[in-house]
Amino acid sequence: MADLTLAVDAMGGDAGLPVTVPAVKALLAEHAGVRILMVGQPEPLAEALAQHQLSDHPRLQVVPANDVVLMDDPVAVAMRVKKDSSLRVAVNQVKEGRAQAMVSAGNTGALMAVSRFVLKTLPGIERPAICTAIPTQTGHCHMLDLGANVDSEAEHLLQFALMGSALARALGQPQPRVALLNIGEEDIKGNELIKDAARQLQAHPQLHYTGFIEGNGIFAGEADVVVCDGFVGNVALKTMEGVAGMFSHVIREQINQSWWRKLSGLASLPILNGLKQRLDPERYNGASLVGLNGVVVKSHGGAGEKGFLFALRVALQEAERNVPALIQSALAASSPETP
């Protein structure tokens, strides 16, 4: 791993410092070449660093920021009032070339708006998108957009496809299969937006477009990149979380039903733990804001230390492979053919 610097919004997320500081400590231990700019309110941050024996870490530097964007702050407040927030100052580090990526568990809307304002979008990109890895039966796929854009047009879906494909290639898929999320696999299904987008993806020489995919096909591993409007993608993502949560709830309920079940629950712990590990949402934490002039990764607001560490690793990988440059060259190569 080359010498890289990550800017971390130390204050963001439901928990803030108690999650971000130990996760950063773990990352520093994992990667000897990595430097961290820890952005936050100086006093509580110094205290948390001291508590984790990080006060004098040679590869960690504190960058002061006096404000904090709250999880329910309107975007306008993050943009116009809290200009000295840890979120914004961390994005500034990327803009000013002091860091190659930034990570925040803060307010998604604020992070998108600030990143877009500070870093700007790549040439040819109208709308950045949110992209994350989703576990499937055979491994994982990348899905976008997950909520940055509602009411996307067909051209936006094409851009999402190009960006997702470049990201998947950067992360090791040589020829990612790109599919369009729809309510049926037949050509006649879906609304006008989807039919129009399908024509554009089909015609694009740079994409390995494989056709429509349904909600259940995502998990069967039928595609490497799943493209959709942000409204639909966000509903699908939250639905996954909801179903997974219900499974855990019902498993606990079943185990607690009788002493015999408690005993068999004990016996089945390796299986349930294996299940948990394979599908653990923390392992899939870290959504990329793609289409920007810089690497920005959003951690789930409720992620724990382990989840935040996964988000840090995503940022590191994307910075190492310079995903924004890869996306830009994918777009540039394809622009003559784009309608």
Q: Rounded CA gap, 251 and 338, in Å? A: 50
Binding mask 162-181 for its own copies (x = CB under 8 A): -------------------x
CB of 244 to its own copies, least distance (A): 6
Q: Which long-range contacts (CB under 8 A, 24 or more apart) does 53-56 make?
A: 54/21, 54/24, 54/25, 54/28
Q: How far apart are the two ends of the chain, measured CA to CA in Å?
A: 39
Q: Are 95 and 118 in contact (CB under 8 A)?
A: yes
Q: How many helices (H) and strands (E) in the chain? A: 13, 11
206 with 165: CB under 8 angstroms? yes
User: In terms of CB distance, is 32 or 243 closer to its own copies?
Assistant: 243
- Pick out residues in 282-321 that bind its own copies (CB under 8 A): none
Identify the residue whose tokens are 């995903």: 323
Angle between helices 86-95 and 108-119 (to 10 degrees): 30
Q: Are the beta carbons of 85 and 126 closer than 8 angstroms?
A: no
Site for its own copies contains 244 (CB under 8 A): yes
One-character DSSP codes across 51-63: HTT-TT-TTEEEE
One symbol per residue from 120 to 159: x for binding its own copies (CB under 8 A), - otherwise; what is it? ---------------xxx---------x--xx--------
Q: Report residue 155 as tokens.
A: 């051209």
Smallest gap from Cβ 36 to its own copies, in A, equals 31
* Cβ proximity of 102 and 8 under 8 Å: yes
Instruction: With beta carbons less than 8 A apart as the criterion, state whether 60 and 10 touch.
Output: no
Q: Which stretch binds its own copies (CB under 8 A): 21-29, 43-51, 172-180, 214-222?
A: 214-222
Binding of its own copies by 259 (CB under 8 A) = no
Q: How far is the CB of 56 from its own copies (least distance, A)?
A: 42
Q: Should residue 113 be labelled a site residue for its own copies when binding is judged by CB under 8 A?
A: no
Residue 188 interacts with its own copies (CB under 8 A): yes or no: yes
User: How many degrees, rounded to 5, is the angle at CA 307 between CA 303 and CA 311?
Assistant: 105
Q: Which amino acid is at 304?
A: G
Taking CB under 8 A as the criterion, the residue among 261, 283, 306, 321 binding its own copies is 261
Binder among 70, 77, 113, 236 for its own copies (CB under 8 A): 236
Report which DSSP code applies to 80: I
Stretch that binds its own copies, among 2-10, 168-176, 217-225, 319-327 (CB under 8 A): 217-225
Find the part of the chain contacting its own copies (CB under 8 A) among 80-88, 89-97, 255-263, 308-316. Answer: 255-263
Stretch that binds its own copies, among 53-61, 78-86, 188-196, 298-306 (CB under 8 A): 188-196
Figure out which of the listed residues 84, 214, 280, 320 binds its own copies, where binding follows CB under 8 A: 214
- Decide: is 246 part of the binding site for its own copies (CB under 8 A): yes
Written as one letter, the residue type at 248 is S
53 lies in the site for its own copies, by CB under 8 A = no
By rule CB under 8 A, what string of x and - marks binding of each residue 70-89 to its own copies?
Answer: --x-x---------------
CA 270, distance to chain mean position in Å, is 29
3-class SS shares of the chain: helix, strand, coil, % to 5: 50, 20, 35
Pairwise CA distance, residues 175 & 224, whole Å:
9
Shortest distance in whole angstroms from residue 28 CB to its own copies? 33
32 binds its own copies (CB under 8 A): no
* 260 near its own copies, rule: CB under 8 A: yes
List contacts with its own copies (CB under 8 A).
72, 74, 135-137, 147, 150-151, 181, 183, 186, 188, 190-192, 214-220, 228, 230-232, 234-247, 249-251, 253-255, 257, 260-261, 263-265, 267-272, 274-275, 278-279
